[in-house]
Amino acid sequence: MAGGTQPRGGIIEGINVTPLVDIMLVLLVIFMVTTKLVDSPALPLDLPQASQSEQVQTVLAISITANGQLWVDGQVTPEEALKQKTQEALARDPELRAVIQADGSVPHRLVISVLDRLKESGLTRVAFGTVQPPAASEGDERAKP
């Protein structure tokens, strides 16, 4: 009895591949069905071509530079003309929103003046553009609450 006896099942001499083949056949059927669905177009449509398409403006971009210059949609605009420009844009799109981006050194009175002009023109949906602050380092005292 020096060597002892072998366990009851003995050594596994091969891997049973039957479950693997079953899974592969199921995947094959799934791929064949989905390929047929992807191949056929949903609806054969012949869409008309438009000679001119009207672009709908949904955001009125207002920027105030450090020297107090007012930019509306990429154009320098005097503050007095802001009300008229806003009313024209609102006539085209009643769902118009304004996004104000003001330089950090701009006096608050100028930003408030722009807000007042927007309110006078009937535009009530206003947001302020901001910049995400850079991630504070571990040694930075300003990052601590």
Condensed to tens digits (0 to 9), the pLDDT of residues 97-139 reads 998 888 888 888 998 999 999 999 998 889 888 777 776 555 5
What is the per-residue pLDDT for 25? 95
Residue 51 C-beta-side C-alpha neighbours within 13 Å: 0
Res 50 pLDDT > 60: yes
From residue 41, alpha-carbon distances to 31, 34, 44, 72 in Å are 17, 13, 7, 44
0.85 surpassed by pTM: no
Domains and CATH numbers, the chain: 59-128 (3.30.420.270)
